[in-house]
Chain A
């Protein structure tokens, strides 16, 4: 695609050019630059006028209705309960904390979901490309069905599925320690104590060490062309180091298994029905889009690349990691960015299944305080910030892997 990059002078340069034209004489209203300046001023004034009209109407309407403005309500007591929370929360806490709880719930579903979607979508996308016609058609039928049904409908369906699961007493028990019931999905939790901090520290150290090793190996390859094996060292650092440290610190691997006591379960970790429905629905829906992105990415690498690499004597796994994937990623990353963004934005549909995400908490807040402008401004700016952060990160990553034309 050819892009038209006309010179785009800044405001100062503009004023300068306009001045020069005027000094040269001629009707000023026929000057291209004067006209462009006038158009711009007119448009900006029109936009400002509309905004001002809206604002003055809003001020009149609000003062007539006796509604307070400003963010003072954030410090007041929320006095509504929230179904689930990552941090401690009670109805006695403030609106500010309630919104924070909602925000963390949004982050929770977005982070867990984006990771699951990436794996599921990549898996489907690769399967879609198998040489086996039966499997490829099955997968593509599945993808078509999922992509062409509205997300909200799918969420309602999954929620209906989850809450129609049996009572805890008759819970389905597909694997040891996992219970599916209408109270949500129960999975075993890990009993944590202080010794696990050492393990986490060792893991962080191991990852940092691996990153350093990989970088050193890359520098060496660029300088000398020699490839160093980092995989054994990486496994040792990431798996071995935490294990050794955990053993020395006396960390135990003890699972907290969910158990049926009375009418409900105790122990283990719970995915609430709302969270489970939202996570499953969003992940299934988005992974169909990811699958198409991954497929397009892999297909974009021409067959000649495989052939050229194998004529250089590289083996298939090496071809995949050294030749094909780096090129496919260039195609895959930009649309993946918008997919992650969409996932995060779509998680606002949580309100439809009753998962207390940011929009849902903000909705309760504005119903109670009667201050919709502030509540909506809060969640809009949060989403906008998240969007800008994700796209900034992805742009940085994209630039890093982009084709360096020498």
Chain B
């Protein structure tokens, strides 16, 4: 016993005090950047690159930029032409939506963003939030389409711009989700035919590019419907996005189902619950909660992918941003337009990705304990 004690004391003597954490923030930063020769060289190279890049960018963005005026004013200076955006921002955001009704898509976007931001707070995750969404979704559609409550009807071929991108992503997720759950359950079912069908569907959709589904929806789907029926073009693209999203979401949900311990299934069986009861009450609530962060990640992907609808001739945000580029008075300002579009997409996607990282920490099992 005493032997052990001495061993401990000698070990204690061997281990020195912890490395000093002295020095302020400035000193620690200095050490991190220039502590070793290699680090110093890397830092200097980075600083040189930044010193070259940042002034150039600021010159282009602000100092040399033209904030108002005509295309001629813009061409005189070397900087960005924000006058172009000032002139065209309505078209860029709302596309060809009737000009006198622009308050409607503005309200749609405002309501949408408000609801999304509200849904981000974990403290608001209650049944009431679902009811609120259930009210919001028809309101969004009525605002966009009109035709009742004295709102002039706006046909979907005039729907364009950022509202279309937002609505397409929202409905893509909301409607794909139930299908995804069915597919995920089907893939883990004990019934061989159901499992086979689910696997075939998921692998088929995941194996082909989204463009091919959009082509199918825009060219082939009308052929598959009885002669004389017409289906709205935007709705067809929406169907393609839903079918596409469902396959990817199904895999995310399946990961969640696999993460549920077997005991949970067995316990619900032994309580005498039927398959659907045990899924609805025991398994899915736990599984879905686990996959919320990857779901947000998948959603970011769909949000970016909705840009593809311009290939089949629909007008999303990217399309309406590009439309003014063809204006003969304002030729040659594509960089400004793309910068604007990139900034908008970045803000949406980056917020969501940071949020998913936050959720991951918030919902992780270690944290819950």
A132–B265 touching, CB < 8 Å: no
CA–CA, A44 and B208, complex, Å: 23
A380-406 CB mask vs B (1 if < 8 Å, else 0) is 100110011000000000000000000
Known: A3-B258, A58-B224, A373-B220. A149 touches B188 (CB 8 A): no
Closest to A14 in B: B192
Instruction: Name the 7 nearest CB pairs between A and B, nearest first.
Output: A148-B349, A387-B207, A345-B209, A150-B304, A40-B193, A54-B224, A372-B219
Number of interface residues of B (CB under 8 A): 62
Contact of A157 among B212, B224, B225, B338 (CB under 8 A): B338
Q: CB-CB < 8 A to A132: which residues of B?
A: 32-33, 39, 42-43, 46
- 1/0 per residue, CB under 8 A from B, across A1-18: the answer is 111101110110010000
Q: List 24 A-B contacts (CB under 8 A).
A: A1-B259, A2-B258, A6-B190, A11-B192, A14-B192, A39-B191, A43-B197, A47-B197, A64-B227, A134-B33, A135-B46, A150-B304, A151-B304, A153-B342, A157-B342, A345-B210, A348-B212, A349-B308, A372-B215, A372-B219, A373-B223, A376-B216, A376-B219, A387-B207
**Majority secondary structure of chain B interface residues (helix, strand, loop or mixed):** helix
| Given A39-B191, A133-B32: A359 in contact with B212 (beta carbons within 8 A) | yes
- Flag if A376 contacts B215 (CB, 8 Å): yes
Tell me the minimal C-beta distance from A369 to chain B in angstroms. 12
Indicate the member of A6, A132, A345 with the most B CB atoms within 10 Å: A132
Q: Which residues of B contact A95 (CB under 8 A)?
A: none
Residues of A within 8 A of B259 (CB): 1-2
Q: Which of B32, B194, B259, B307 has the most CB of A within 10 A?
A: B307
Bound-complex Cα distance A41 to B191 (A): 10
Once A57-B226, A61-B227, A132-B39 are accepted as A-B contacts, the answer to whether A40 and B215 lie under 8 Å apart by CB is no
Asked if A269 CB lies within 8 Å of chain B CBs, one says no
**Are A61 and B223 closer than 8 Å at their CB atoms?**
yes
Interface residues of chain A, those whose CB is within 8 Å of chain B, are 1-4, 6-8, 10-11, 14, 36, 39-41, 43-44, 47, 54, 57-58, 60-62, 64, 130-135, 138, 144-145, 147-153, 156-157, 160, 345-346, 348-349, 351-352, 359, 363, 366, 372-373, 376, 379-380, 383-384, 387-388
Q: Report B-chain residues with C-beta under 8 Å of the C-beta of A41.
A: 193
Contact B191 A4 (CB under 8 A): no
The 8 A CB mask of B325-341 against A (1 = contact, 0 = none) is: 00000000011001001
A41-B193, A150-B345, A345-B209 known; 8 new pairs, CB 8 Å cut-off, are A132-B32, A133-B33, A147-B349, A156-B318, A359-B209, A372-B215, A373-B220, A387-B206
